[in-house]
Structure 1
Amino acid sequence: MCTEECLRHAASPQAEVSRRAALTGLAAAALTLGPSQPAVASRRQHTVRDLTHPFSTAFPTFAPGEEARRGPYKTIPDDGYYMQEWRIVEHTGTHVDAPVHFVPGGRTATQLTPDELILPAVTISLARRATRDADTVLTVADLRAWEREWGRIPTGAAVLLHTGWDRRATSAAHYRNPDAQGTMHFPGFGADACEWLLSARHVRCLGIDTLSLDPGRSTTYPVHFTLLGADRYGVENLAHLETVPARGATLVVGLIPWEQGSGGPARILALS
């Protein structure tokens, strides 16, 4: 409420000067902002892409017999609420490989810090080559060619390898792709490419849409030993990498802090 004192002040010459000054300032601000720019900037809208396969008992695992199992634990008719009981191997579905997975004394899932789990991402595609050669790997030459087109891979980034293999995940035989001797065949990171990404670009994470960072026919797993041995982590069985831009995305790795975990299932999102 305005008192008589306040009304007299509002009618005074000094108040008129103040009003004129305020209006002049607002007009200048409006010219600066432009006719269509709001005074308060709107929040940037992100596109969020889910790179996670649904966690199910049917999802293929690296070795037969490791598939997840589930059953009823509590039911609404009997207990008044619903819960399931699961039996899983940590490296099932879309999941993280923590350093301890291959390195004695390496860090566990609980020791990966939040700032390591939100990071810039680049996506490199070998999908066309993989349709012709299931054993193809990412090479240093591929990385240099990608950088000529898209620019330098950022320090501390996640490098995501799109092979198109996620389309096969509805069939364990198609996804593992074993030959008559049982050797699996699917694409992966080359050992030299992994070493170059660590030494020359200091990346934080490698991710792929297959069962393993190493190609399926590998028996020595050099990419795992090199990456996890450098105290970095990997993400396997990603989905929909074709929807992630080559650069400019942010990867969000929703890893559950599994106690003493060698990694574990995670919800993986890409924001751009």
Structure 2
Amino acid sequence: MFRDLSRPIETGMPTYPGDPDVTLAPDATHEEDGYATSELRTGTHAGTHVDAPRHTLPEGESIDERAVGEFAFDARLVDLRPLEPREAITAEELPEPNVLDPAVDLLVFRTGWAAHWGTDRYRDHPYLTAGAARRCQKLGVGVGLDTFGPDPTPPGSAKTTGPSRETEPEGTPAHDALLSDSLPIVENLCGLDGLPAGFRLYAFPLRLRGADGSPVRAVAEWEG
């Protein structure tokens, strides 16, 4: 069985605060030109996408320097629900090294925040603590998330109801920990409800020369 876990790329879609807006508009039309083409303007981290180490590490690999086979994953779903807005996900909530199948190379975290896509609340997603990121390093696994990313996102205009932001880490420590070991980060996944505990996840990026990330068509596959 297959399931698309990707966000549609469309004009005005949500983007991380400060990232470029996305527009998808006609360029040539059947009526005027006899054929159709479109113009797409987007950042490299719009919608469902994968981060390259260069995203937060100046000397890190770019997306086109990674072998294409590194974007086909043996994934394990980790259901963390219910979670509060901006709740910290600790190492204790992740699998222990001795119980995780050695074949697994991606943990997909279901936080429930996919339901808030398109609202200010989506910014108030849970995030990984430094200890959780180190656990992933020890496991040798990357992460997939139904959120903007593994680190906190600046809140929107709506009042934040979660824990005090004074306790949140600054910068991108979870990104840095994972990307420093070339562990993949797949962000803004959707459609995680009803997936089996184990599945294949394909998240092939565009071959963007020297880029720090790329939108992907994330697809889950499992035996029905």
TM-score, scaled to structure 1 = 0.71
Note the 1:84-99 alignment, pairs <5 A.
84-99=38-53
Once the two structures are TM-superposed, the CA of residue 218 in structure 1 deviates from its matched residue by 4.4
Q: Who is 1:50 aligned against?
A: 4
What corresponds to 2:160 in structure 1? none
Distance across 2 between alignment mates of 1:255 and 1:112: 10
Residue 111 of structure 2 corresponds to which residue in structure 1? 163
SS in 2 for 1:174: helix
* Residue 63 of structure 1, aligned match among 5, 17, 28: 17
Aligned with residue 206 of structure 1, among 117, 128, 143: 143
Please list the CA deviations of residues 197-253 of structure 1 after superposition, one character each: whole Å capped at 9, or x if unmatched: 212x111x2110011111335432110111111122211100012232222x11111
The answer as to 2:195 corresponding to 1:244 is: yes
Query: Rg: which structure is higher?
Result: 1
Distance, in Å, in 1 between the alignment partners of 2:102 and 2:3 is: 21
- Corresponding residue of 2:152: 215
Q: Answer yes or no: is 1:262 the counterpart of 2:217.
A: no
Q: Distance in 1 between matches of 2:49 and 2:100?
A: 27
3-state SS in 2 of match to 1:238: coil
Measured against aligned partners, the alpha-carbon deviations of 1:53-105 in whole angstroms (never above 9, x if no partner) come to 11112321111562202322111111111111121111100011111111112
* Aligned mates of 2:150, 2:106 — CA distance in 1: 13
Take 1:125 and 1:190, find their aligned partners in 2: how far apart are those partners? 17
Find the counterpart in structure 2 of residue 24 from structure 1.
none
Structure with greater helix share of residues: 1
Structure 2: which amino acid aligns with 1:202? Answer: G
Alignment of 1:117-266 (within 5 A): 117-128=71-82, 130=83, 133-144=84-95, 151-155=99-103, 157-171=105-119, 173-176=120-123, 185-199=124-138, 201-203=139-141, 205-216=142-153, 218-247=169-198, 249-266=199-216
**Moved >6 Å (runs of 4+):** none
Higher RCO (CA < 8 A, seq sep 6+): 2
Cα distance between partner residues in 2 of 1:110 and 1:62 = 22
Residue 4 of structure 2 contacts residue 218 of structure 2 at CA under 8 Å; is this kept in 1? yes
What is the RMSD of the two structures over their aligned residues, measured on CA atoms? 1.9
Q: C-alpha distance in 2, partners of 1:71/1:49?
A: 27
Residues 101-145 of structure 1, C-alpha deviations (whole Å, 9 max, x = no match): 1111211111121221112101111221x2xx1122322211247
What do residues 21-50 of structure 1 show as CA deviations (whole Å, max 9, x unaligned)? xxxxxxxxxxxxxxxxxxxxxxxxxx1111
Going by fraction, where is strand more abundant, 1 or 2? 2
Q: Structure 1: which amino acid aligns with 2:186?
A: V
1:17 corresponding residue in structure 2: none
Mapped to 1, the partners of 2:105 and 2:182 lie a distance apart of 14
Query: Could you say what secondary structure the match of 2:94 adopts?
Result: helix
Confirm or deny: 8 A CA contact 2:14 2:117 kept in the other structure: yes
Rounded Cα–Cα distance in structure 1 between residues aligned with 2:135 and 2:111 = 20
Deviation at 1:155, TM superposition (A): 4.7
Paired residue type of 2:145: I
Q: TM-score, normalised by structure 2?
A: 0.85
Which amino acid letter does the alignment assign opposite residue 207 of structure 2? P
What secondary structure does 2:151 align onto?
coil
User: CA separation in 1, counterparts of 2:66 and 2:104?
Assistant: 14
Q: Which residue identity does 2:34 align to in structure 1? A: G
Identity of aligned residues (%): 29
